[in-house]
Chains A and B, each alone.
Chain A
Amino acid sequence: MLEMIYSAFLILGVVSLALYKCPKTALWVGFGLPSLVSLYSVVIFITNINLTYGFKLAGNFIFSPEFILTPLSGFFSFLVVFISFGVGIYTIGYAKSLKNRANLAVFASLFNFFILSMLLVLSSSNVFSFIVLWEVMTLVSALLLKFNDEETSNKTVMIYLGVAQIGAFCIMIALLLISGVAGSMEFAQWQGFEISSGLSICVLTLLLVGFGSKAGMFPFHVWSPLAYPLAPSNVAALMSGVMSKMAIFGLIKFSLFLPINPGFGLSIMVLGALSALIGISYALVQKEYSKLIAYSSVENIGIILLGVGTGFYGIGLGEGTLALLGFVGALFHALNHATFKSLLFLGAGNIYNATQTKEIDKLGGLARKMPITAILFLIGVVSISALPPLNGFVSEWFIYRSMILGGLSESLLGRAVFALSIVALALTGAIVVFAFIKLYALIFAGVCKDEKIYNGAYEKSLFMPLGMFVLAFSCLYFGLGANNIIMFLGSVVMDLIPNATYSINIDVLSMPIIALLLCFLLILPFLLFGIFKANMSKARLSEPWACGFKFNSRMQTNSNAFVGDFKRIISKIIKFKEIKSQDSYFAKMNYESRSDDFWWNLLYAPVVRLNLYLGDKIGYMQNGKSSFYVIYILIYLYAMMIAGFYFLGE
């Protein structure tokens, strides 16, 4: 089963690469067939969610890796193939816009390898293959990033790779430390080993930094708002929707091997709360829609981490219910975030495809030109804003609930952290609504601001809305059928925490009833109007009244004005740069306001500077004379000989 799915992706990847000469066929082979394979594997992963199964690679070439799926990795594998299904369909239509940038066959092949690498990361069963596959995943995603070849792309790709490498380095050290203590590289044998509390804290910190870098957790998030907007939107959907979840998976999986104290859970919660707040604050003030969505990924990772932190806190205290609720909330939000974030990125790709601009301020009234995209995008926006009855609401509700339960714990620190996190999440929720109203309203509602862009916009291909529809429909289903999903996730989490029981009634929340209620409330005014026959006169259609002036589309609120008050409030935390420039005395004044992510300067810029400095100094050694290089080799040889003599000789 499993090997069939993996080899299908492998073969499709190779075949689409072989179709280098005919990219049109490669498009169907490389994106159409993987969607079918994904659909098939979604079924496989769902039906086998409670089993632990795997296969061993044949042969004894150095070592034969074994691939095992546990319920947890099974759930994340389901996530991977489920999102790839929607993205794959979408890409059949979308890839045409990339035709001039790169060979589609290569793109299709990398797409398949990317999915495959993520699946393999999930099922790898020892340290060596995990690290190698993790790196492969990073490299393939970096190659995919390069497909949007812009001026800044090289720098962004290097930043992405740099942060990912720092993360991978931390992960590797942590895993090697564990395997050193446990005496085995196989994950299956990591049981019942003794580890000192100091080392355990050290390993947990390394894991948090490593996986946090990959997930885009604050303060290691600097790469995500750069990389996601750069990537082609289907890749951005996969990276933000799925790849960042690999980090969540790793964090949960490897931390559970270690003895966990409640402090670890609390520190994850603090970081999660900060990610959520800071991520969404930055998102709100962005002027490019893809950047806004990218920053909102940071926020959502923060929310997921709040759930994960609660779960770890519960484990640390030995409270099964708390852990269960926290992890279910986290996994559910991971699933939901993957769904609606992919949907939004795909929608953003659709908009960019039609308009060729990333500026929110140049767009307006697109709903009239692209009605299908608008509706599907609206579903994504409502879900991400956590409005009932869609899926974002349910998972955030779960996380709230688990945090409220955690807030009742005895320790004072725990109470404080939980209370503050609840406040942070509530604040985040409000700003999310604000940000996404801005996003939707300024792009799809109102009247057009740029005639040329407006007239050129239309639905380019039917496959793109179709792919989005799959995800939008799942948003609806995950909301309305939340009980099923929770039972499904409950069984996954039960496997993680053996002593947990369904001690509380999880299905106190009935989503269909909420949905019905909301629909009823929505219809109620019209019903009342109908009954009382009030306000039945036909609406008059005319241009908006603009205080006696002729209405102009520039009179509409733009993205800067929309968040003006918020900017004033937050200007203590986020620094805005106002740039005024004027070409000549009579020319128009140009205003530009930028919000730079100062965490980059705080955290990474010193490291970069140090490296450049060291590189400069070492550069003296590289003087271009080959005989000097041989001298270096000779010196090294001597040094090794002496070292060997002293250390090994005795």
Chain B
Amino acid sequence: MEVLTILMMISSVLVFGFRSYKLSILSYVFQAFCLVSLFFLLANLHGAKELFSWAIIAFFMKVCLVPAIIFYLVKKLNLIHENEPTGGFLVSIVIAFGFSIATAMVIAPIFGEFSLIKNETALVASIFIFMMGIFGFILRNSFIKQILAYCLFENGIHLSLALSAYNSHSLVELGILTDAIFAVIIMSVLAYHYHKTFGHVDISKASNLKG
């Protein structure tokens, strides 16, 4: 289990760090796969039947559908490499990693008090992935990278929910599991139109809505 969580953490850094969209998406697939296997593992270890269904839904959603959509988008827009993020490629990773791990270490004990499965590593990982997603939003300028960052913190939330409250209401469950797909579809459409209008996917150049 520790292995899986640490793999997830590494893959999140990879998603964040890779210049090439293709590799980035692949590492996302890898992370999602880790998440699904983690669900299976937790379901076996703690006898939580809900987590089986979670795992199956997550497999179809996160491992198959979401990456497929983003792949399709990248192909259609004919993009290979990301443009320069805020603070450069190297520095941005260091900033994101540092802040994320610090936040995760601080919050994990608080989370631990509420959660059903008290596994410190997994909790730290879940918060770390979430924070990586947030920093992806802040530091990356590319639209595609931001979609991926969104998926990252979806994964983080998902993991922390599985750890802390897998017995929650079925409506909540369904919402958490399926909202990612809708969000990704909408954002992909937006990205496509953005690219069509401006010819690039660099959102730092879009400041028409300035107050």
Contact = CB atoms under 8 A, between A and B. Distances in A.
A619 interface: yes
Contact of B141 (A624, A627, A645): A627
Interface residues of B, number: 18
A623 B138 contact: no
Contacts of A531: none
Contacts of A634: 134, 138
Contact of A624 (B137, B138, B207): B207
B107 A641 contact: yes
Contacts of A622: 209-211
Interface string B105-136: 00100100000000000000000000000100
A641 B106 CA distance: 11
Nearest to A622: B211
A298 B86 CA distance: 60
B210 A623 contact: yes
B204 A627 contact: yes
Nearest to B140: A627
A619 B211 contact: yes
B134 A630 contact: yes
Nearest to A623: B210
Given A622-B211, A623-B210, A645 B138 contact: no
B208 A627 contact: no
Interface in B177-211: 203-204, 206-211
A317 B135 CA distance: 67
A626 interface: yes
A625 interface: yes
Contacts of B137: 626-627, 630
Nearest to A631: B138
B207 A645 contact: no
B17 to A, nearest CB: 17
Nearest to A628: B138
A58 B140 CA distance: 51
B139 interface: yes
Contacts of A627: 86, 137-141, 203-204
Contacts of A641: 107
A645 B110 CA distance: 9
A110 B207 CA distance: 39
The DSSP consensus for interface residues of chain A is: helix
A415 to B, nearest CB: 57
A458 to B, nearest CB: 53
B122 to A, nearest CB: 20
B211 A630 contact: no
A334 B204 CA distance: 60
B206 A624 contact: yes
Contacts of A623: 207, 210-211
Nearest to B85: A627
Contacts of A631: 138
Contacts of A618: 211
B209 A624 contact: yes
B210 A624 contact: yes
A157 to B, nearest CB: 23
Interface string B125-169: 000000000100111110000100000000000000000000000
A625 B208 CA distance: 9
Nearest to A621: B211
Contact of A626 (B107, B110, B203, B211): B203
Interface string A610-650: 00000000111111111100110110000001000100000
A626 B203 CA distance: 8
B208 A624 contact: yes
A144 to B, nearest CB: 31
B123 to A, nearest CB: 15
A641 B110 CA distance: 10
A645 B113 CA distance: 13
Contacts of B110: 645
Contact of A625 (B107, B140, B204): B204
Nearest to A638: B103
A174 B188 CA distance: 48
A625 B206 CA distance: 7
Interface string B18-35: 000000000000000000
Contacts of B204: 625, 627
A359 to B, nearest CB: 42
B210 A630 contact: no
Nearest to A637: B134
A630 B211 CA distance: 16
A627 B86 CA distance: 10
B124 to A, nearest CB: 16
Contacts of A626: 137, 146, 203, 206
Nearest to B134: A634
Nearest to B86: A627
Nearest to B137: A630
A641 to B, nearest CB: 7
Contacts of B138: 627, 630-631, 634
B207 A625 contact: yes
Contacts of A624: 206-211
A627 B204 CA distance: 8
Given A624-B208, A627-B137, 5 more contacts: A623-B211, A624-B211, A626-B146, A626-B203, A627-B139
21 contacts: A620-B211, A621-B211, A622-B209, A622-B211, A623-B210, A623-B211, A624-B206, A624-B207, A624-B209, A624-B210, A624-B211, A626-B137, A626-B146, A626-B203, A627-B137, A627-B203, A630-B134, A630-B138, A633-B134, A634-B134, A641-B107
Interface of B: 86, 107, 110, 134, 137-141, 146, 203-204, 206-211
Interchain residue pairs A-B with the least CB separation, the first 3? A624-B207, A622-B211, A624-B210
